[in-house]
Structure 1
Amino acid sequence: MRICIHGSYGTGNRGDNVILSQLLLLLAEELPGAEVTLLCRDEQRVALYLESAHPGLRLRVRPLHASFRRHPLAVLRACLRCDLFILGGGGLLWGSAPGNLAYWLTRARLARLAGARIVLYLPGIYALRGRGAQRLLGRFARVADFVSARDPEGFEQLRACGVPGQSIHLGADPAFLLPAPAPGSSADLLEALELSGYQLVGLSARDWRHRLSAGIFANFVRGLLEDESVRLLFFVMKTGGRLGETDTDDITVVRRLLGTLPPALQKRVLIVDDGYDDEEMIALMAACRYVVAMRLHALIFATIAGTPFGALAYDEKINAYMTMLGRQGHLLGMDEVADPERLPAITAGLIAERERWPEGPVPEIALAASSLAGRARNVHRALAEALRTWYPDARAGRVEGGRRQP
């Protein structure tokens, strides 16, 4: 049984790692022992992640750089020989055709022509440009065996491409399958980090347009930290960019930000990086008065934590997420960052929200997280059912293949 997965894996992005983990856990349950070729951006980075996060995984996973230029025969062979091709998840499908959209669909189309079953796994779909892009995605999705979207925006984009709504499984980002913090977990962690008794504020920033991110937050952070009772938690969602793209590393942003602060204030910042697992990061967000973030999965983690959060909309996917949760009032457009009053206004609204619910998760946010977790589980159940239908002997380890019947 051969599976090929193609996604934006191997860039050091915590959100993509969570998505990959949830997908692999599902496959290990339904298709144990399967041979998986993981088309990715960095083979070594993916291999290290899998070794640390899933040492006993019941799959044989081989990371392979997705570039035809680097491994033309190996990539082609993986696409043409697989029984099941999975595209996703993450915010992959956007832009024009040819262009970004064509890049992501090319390998899946090769697999489809060779007879593989095709799964569109909870991708983000937004900002399609032109009728050519709609036609390309529509033709592909209409012949896929399982189609899902991670949010209503993607669902409507697929419908606009001519995909029948009844054939689309509306889900949510697989990160919502992570558990909410257990009672007391935040307190234990804060005590270990000597943060008990402080007011905590969370921040997640990424590089954006000529290193502007650190400048956006510099005055805001300085003002926060002048209050001795405040500690800033900087949540690192991406460590290390692609080859030659060091500026995409969130650590680079926080270092620039720290460089704008005097040493006394720098000591009031805790960098929450890869030394903390997903559950610990969510628990720390649960302890924050509020979180301001640019990264989508920082917003998702804050939602799971039930903590008030605001966003800087550097990308359409941030707009889509905040709209889905009805939090447009806590959204700062990137065209507004030059206005010195807008970010403080956003945070004032978050403080007011926290003051209404000073203890524990905000009910509206916790309810949204629960609803989205349910949607993600529903898609996983539907996909598991499809896999059992296609490969009825797989859970007993007796499947050798399972291509589409002509």
Structure 2
Amino acid sequence: MSDIVVSGYYGFGNAGDEAMLAAMIEALTDIEPNVQITVISGNPDDTKRRHGVCAVYRLNYPEIVKALAKSRLLISGGGSLLQDVTSDRSLYYYLSIMMLAKKLNKPVMLYAQGIGPVQGTLAQSAMRYIGNMVDLITVRDDGSYEELKRLKVTVPPIYVTADPVLAMHPVDRQIGRSILRKHGQEGVAPLIGISVREWKEWGHFKQVLSHAADRMIEELGVRVVFIPMQCPDDLGVSQKIAGRMKNKAEVLPGEYTTSELLSLVGNLDLLIGIRLHALIFAAVMHVPMAGISYDPKIDRFLETIGERHVGTLKTVTTDSLMARILQLWDERKHPNKQREERITMLRNKAFQNAELALSLMK
């Protein structure tokens, strides 16, 4: 018997999505320890091993139908599943799973989703039709709420909560310290982490980050480490940036679990991030962060904690990035109380996602 079936971008080695799944499982089982969870995954064996739950392959529709038939709730989320910018095929896939659940008379919840942008006419119609069939929606930011209004998804109750990962418990920093020591990254010098992703083979942001990293080493006396959130994609772009530097920076080579990544980030004095969940990990572990935007979800998250990005992948400059780093460097001795209060509030909202899911199931 599966009490809950979870649909999302799981089993593909993306640290952000795996962290969202881990956060959902943690929050749901904190409230209801005996809940049975089955995950629709691109790699069921990896999902079972990594998260300790049941899993079925994402294209095995007979098995998905069987799991849904035995369930009491379908959760779709979290993350940016419902958008057609990176791919419209994935949008229709996730909508099809929701439609299957409704055909089986099962409640459906969109769980802390980042909605949009949805641009195609057919995609907008599909979102409006199926979105109005679901039973409950929580979104992780105001921008997603506005996108639902634009799409005329108005029938189900909609709550603005927060990204599920913000509800995770901080982890022991010793885990990350051991990984850093293994790669020769121990010492008294402060440590700045950089989390990047490739984007359309653009070169400008790579040049900016390599120059800024050199300046940080020379002007602040820090060590620099690149932390990949998705392997092997992030590993390649990290190595390209490190290869342009005059000074040495470490590129961590492995694929890490959510707990390991949280612990690694917790050992940093500051994080520079393009990846959304690297920034969210910094928030969970109370580490100052500077975000570079490639997608509205970065802007939306930073706004919720009272911050702004330092530029987009096209517009960021070495000077603007260094100015923000120096500002954050001064904050290390005087933590930003307003930001910490906002993060605490978001943590409570993130936990509300699980409370609403379980109330819907009952």
TM bucket normalised to smaller? 0.7 to 0.9
State the one-letter code of the partner of 1:206: R
Taking only the aligned residue pairs, the percentage that are identical comes to 22
| Alignment pair present for 1:207 and 2:190 | no
Which of residues 90, 93, 97 is equivalent to 2:82? 93
Matched, 1:332 2:332: no
Q: CA deviation at 1:6?
A: 0.9
Instruction: Tell me how far 1:279 sits from its aligned partner.
Output: 4.0
AA aligned opposite 2:109:
V
* CA gap 1:111/1:31 in 2 versus in 1, 3 angstroms: farther
Structure 1 residue 303: Cα displacement: 2.3
Q: 1: distance between equivalents of 2:126 and 2:94?
A: 11
Matched residue SS, 1:297: helix
5+ residue gaps in structure 2?
A: none
1:228-283: CA deviation from partner (whole Å, max 9, x where unpaired): 8210122221224xxxxxxxx22222233333346xx33x5363852762441242
Residue of 312, 326, 337 corresponding to 2:292: 312
Q: Which of 32, 41, 48 is matched with 1:30 structurally?
A: 32
- Give the alignment's TM-score, normalised by structure 2: 0.84
1:293–1:98 Cα change, 3 Å: closer
For 1:132-281, list aligned pairs within 5 A: 132-164=122-154, 167-180=157-170, 189=177, 193=181, 195-210=186-201, 212=203, 214-226=206-218, 229-240=221-232, 249-261=233-245, 265-266=247-248, 268-269=249-250, 271=252, 274=256, 277-281=260-264
Q: Equivalent of 1:73, from 54, 57, 62?
A: 62
Any conservation in 2 of the 1:85–1:116 contact (CA below 8 Å)? yes
Amino acid at match of 1:21: A
TM-aligned CA deviation for residue 27 of structure 1? 4.2
Greater radius of gyration (CA): 1
List alignment gaps of at least 5 residues for structure 1: 55-60, 241-248, 391-406
CA distance 1:346–1:214, change in 2 (3 Å): closer
SS at match of 2:80: strand
RMSD: 3.1
By percentage of residues, which structure has more strand?
Answer: 1
Partner of 2:325: 350
Give the Cα–Cα distance (whole angstroms) in 1 for the partners of residues 334 and 41 of structure 2.
39
Which consecutive aligned stretches of 4+ in structure 1 deviate over 6 angstroms post-superposition?
Answer: none
Report the 3-state secondary structure (helix = DSSP H, G, I; strand = E; otherwise coil) of the residue aligned with 2:63: helix
SS at match of 1:332: coil
Shift in alpha-carbon separation, 1:113–1:138, aligned structure 2, 3 A: same
SS of 1:251's equivalent in the other structure is helix
**Cα distance in 2, alignment partners of residues 44 and 348 from structure 1:** 46
CA contact (8 A) 1:15 1:237 kept: yes
Q: Give me the whole-angstrom Cα distance separating, in 1, the residues matched to 2:33 and 2:49.
A: 23
CA gap 1:317/1:112 in 2 versus in 1, 3 angstroms: same
What is the count of residue pairs matched by the alignment? 352
Alignment partner of 2:74: what SS? strand
Alignment partner, residue 17 of structure 2: 16
TM-score, with structure 1 as normaliser: 0.76
Contact 2:165 2:280 in 1 (8 A): yes
